[in-house]
Structure 1
Amino acid sequence: MNKKLVYLFSILFLVVIVLAACGGETDDAASEEGNDDGTSEETEETVTLTLAENHPEDYPTTIGNEEFARLVEEKTDGRYEVEVYAGGQLGEESEVLEQVQLGTIELARVNSIPLTQFSDEIGVLSMPYLFDDEEAKWDKLNGEVGQELLGTLDGSGLVGLTFYDSGERSFYNSERPVETPEDMEGLQIRVQSSDLAIAIVESLGASATPMEYGEVYSAMQTGVIDGAENNFPSYYTSNHYEVAEYFTVNGYQGTPEVLLGSEDLWDDLSDEDREAFTEAAMESVDVQREAWAELTEESREAVIENGNELVEVEDTDEWREAVQPVYDEFGDQYSEWIDRLTE
């Protein structure tokens, strides 16, 4: 082979090497910048968050939590996922609240009553006969006033996202049917350990006995107390219906649950993600409330089938009049919020 041919072959070989190298760079660039359809092959790392729930997996608040988790993942395009730990796996509500404040747990569902230690204003939701009906209640809680009330937690290390349903509380006892406040006279009723709870029961003519929830069944069974107060599902699932035959459906109190997050989490979120989390929380309420309604109806049917007597109070006017002393005693500290929630 003469020198000219050798030279030509050498040139061709170099051209092939250069083209191959260019082709490799193009492929690498495509893998970094995107595919033909414009989507990126590189994805952001998913951040996994923890949500603490002390109710069982099939309980309405847990069902609401799971819907919230689904919506968060959907609205953030998978950048955030929420793992729900039900059944008190992460501790009791008081322990969970401390961990949320510290940021070691990012999210939790708690009752609003323990939150009064961080926001006095939230205590207004425990006032008796605060709302005329369920529609009025949820219009307020899901609206601007409800969000502002959650905002009173600012500075506590907690961020309120939305309210969940925990039903209406009513009285039940082992002695007699209770139709009017006068029928409460002389009954010994278990209450939570709070000045407001005690004042409500005493305004109705009964004696209030603060007691741990786990002691209520045996206390009614042995006659230490005559009755207690709670919602239908709790009355049924706690088996209190076995030792307290009479349930008065008067819905005197409807303290809601609260879905909340830690301020540490909130500070780390972009404005866009904060909006996504808030929307997910608000949109999960319908699913949670539907699950609550189903559980309430199931519980109601079960206690009726058991032979318990339900006293339906259609007109609560005289009950509202009877608890007026509670508003005289506690109303001043909540006056602004009472006006806004009931206007």
Structure 2
Amino acid sequence: MKRTLKKLFTTATIVAAATAITAPISTSAIASDDKFKLTLAADSGDKDSPIGRSMDMWSKLIKERSDGRIKVNVFYQGELGGQQELFDQLVKGNVDMMLTWPQTSYDERIGVNVLPYLVLGWDDAIKAYGQGGWLSKIVDPVYQDMGLKYFGPYPEGFGGIATKGRYATNMSQAEGLKVRSQTIFPLPQTINAMGFQAVPIDWSEVYTSIQTGVVDGDSSNVIYWDYEYFRDQLDYYVHSKHNFSSYALIMNGSKWEELDAEDQGIIFDAAQEVIAKQFKDAKAEDEKWIKAAQEAGMEYIVPSTEEMRAWVKVVREQVWPQAEEKLGAEIMAEIRANASVPN
């Protein structure tokens, strides 16, 4: 009980500090000659991670292009709380901006970002998630309904299944393997459909959960996260590519509306530079970490074409109808019209 109270007190104190940092922003519009500070946070990725470097890039561009008027205080992995509580603070306006996997707790339609086997290759991913892409046009109104300003996606690559002891490239091999899943719909449902046992766990608890045997591995992340954070615990990485891992650059909608057109332009244009750089670098970055993981002794496994077809078929048959209940028939019709066709 004492530990829980201490954690709650610490989180409340940090959030209060973050709120104080943004105190100069009032409910009236901010003129472009005003000085003020914004808070930018992430729930995963330390300062030296790709996400950390991208956050720094965004904050520095904003400061430079405003001639130092707008300063951005950056908080890295977990410094302001876990995934859900940090997203809650963004929606409430206690945190101004985030680079994050959006939580579906406010609107389950945002789960379209991680719909399994939506795209099956990099070219299709760019067409869907890129600036002006068909998927971006779907998610932008959803963010608006959540009270958030959506600047665009932050692509990482295709996720996989990382495990210790044994691995699986088909449903029969997956039986009995417990793997951590992100807590957002439809990722746990996807992992279960693939034959694994999904255990939804917050990012901050993954290492201990693998170490103590609560789970046998991690899922739905690009190999960077499993190599960089859990390499001493994991033996295999199966590149199932069941989800395209894409974070989002977003801002509290009320804070965005308080800014005048000039400052909105500064923040928006800086975000687009970060996004453009990430689209350019993401594939090479993923390949770099695949090589690093292999050199460190992690076995990298690509399922056969037949195994991939089987997973695509069963996941689309089982999970997509569930998604239609959450996302709506109109969104799913758009998805079915544009989704990748298996080879």
TM-score band w.r.t. shorter chain: 0.7 to 0.9
Which runs of 5 or more structure 1 residues have no equivalent in the other structure?
1-42
For residues 74 and 47 of structure 2, the distance between their equivalents in structure 1, rounded to whole angstroms, comes to: 9
Alignment equivalent of 2:239, drawn from 224, 249, 266? 249
Partner residue, 1:274: 264
Give identity over the alignment, percent: 23
SS at match of 1:101: helix
Deviation at 1:232, TM superposition (A): 0.5
Q: Is the 8 A contact 1:63 1:287 kept in 2?
A: no
Residues 1:61 and 1:45: Cα distance change in structure 2 (over 3 Å): same
Match of 1:326 in 2: 319
Cα deviation, 1:100-132, whole Å, max 9, x if unaligned, reads 3343432222212x1x22222211122111113
Q: Which residue of 151, 160, 166 maps to 1:161?
A: 151
**Aligned 8 A contact 1:53 1:109 in 2:** yes
Q: 1:83 and 1:235 mapped to 2: Cα distance?
A: 28
CA contact (8 A) 2:40 2:74 kept: yes
CA contact (8 A) 1:187 1:206 kept: yes
Instruction: Tell me the distance in 1 between the aligned counterparts of 2:58 and 2:295.
Output: 35
CA deviation profile, 1:142-180 (whole Å, cap 9, x unmatched): 333415513312253422222112432211223434333
Deviation readout 1:21-78 (Å, 9 max, x if unpaired): xxxxxxxxxxxxxxxxxxxxxx934333221234211221222222223333455555
Q: Write the mapping of 1:193-212 to structure 2, written as runs, cut at 5 A.
A: 193=183, 196-212=186-202
1:159–1:262 Cα contact (<8 Å) kept = yes
Amino acid corresponding to residue 256 of structure 1 in structure 2 = S
Residue of structure 2 in register with 1:48 after alignment = 37
Q: Which amino acid aligns with 2:36?
A: V
The DSSP-based 3-state class of the residue aligned with 1:149 is helix
Deviation at 1:282, TM superposition (A): 1.7
Match of 1:192 in 2: 182
TM-score by length of 1: 0.74
Q: For 1:147 and 1:277, how far apart are their aligned partners in 2?
A: 20
The Cα of 1:249 is off from its aligned counterpart by: 1.1
Match of 1:61 among 13, 36, 51: 51
Larger radius of gyration: 1
Partner residue, 1:126: 114
Distance (Å, rounded) in 2 between the aligned partners of 1:266 and 1:277? 9
Corresponding residue for 1:336? 330
Kept after mapping to 2: 8 A contact 1:247/1:309? yes
**3-state SS of paired residue (1:117):** coil
Letter in 2 for 1:202: N
Supply the AA of the counterpart residue of 1:237.
E
Deviation larger for 57-66 or 209-218: 209-218
Q: Distance in 1 between matches of 2:263 and 2:181?
A: 41
In the alignment, structure 2 segments of 5+ residues that lack a partner are 1-31, 339-343
TM-score normalised to structure 2 length: 0.74
TM-fit CA distance, 1:286? 2.7
Give the whole-Å Cα distance in 1 for the aligned partners of 2:61 and 2:154.
16
In the alignment, is the contact (CA less than 8 A) between 2:41 and 2:99 conserved in 1? yes
Say yes or no: does 1:234 pair with 2:235. no
Deviations 1:160-219 (A, max 9, x none): 222112432211223434333332233233323456333222222233333454554455
Q: Say whether the 8 Å CA contact 2:83–2:203 is kept in structure 1.
A: no
The yes-or-no answer on 1:135 pairing with 2:129 is no
Q: Which amino acid aligns with 2:41?
A: A
Q: Is the 8 A contact 1:69 1:81 kept in 2?
A: yes
CA contact (8 A) 2:222 2:245 kept: no
Q: Is the 8 A contact 2:170 2:194 kept in 1?
A: no
Give distance in 2, aligned partners of 1:87 and 1:198.
Answer: 23
Secondary structure at 1:167 match in 2: strand
SS in 2 for 1:176: coil
Structure 1 vs Structure 2 CA RMSD: 2.9
Higher mean alpha-carbon deviation, 256-265 vs 191-200, is at 191-200
For 1:191 and 1:177, locate their aligned partners in 2 and report how far apart those are by CA, in whole Å.
16
Change in Cα spacing, 1:212 to 1:51, as seen in structure 2 (3 Å) is: closer
Quote the Cα distance in structure 1 between the aligned partners of 2:85 and 2:212: 32
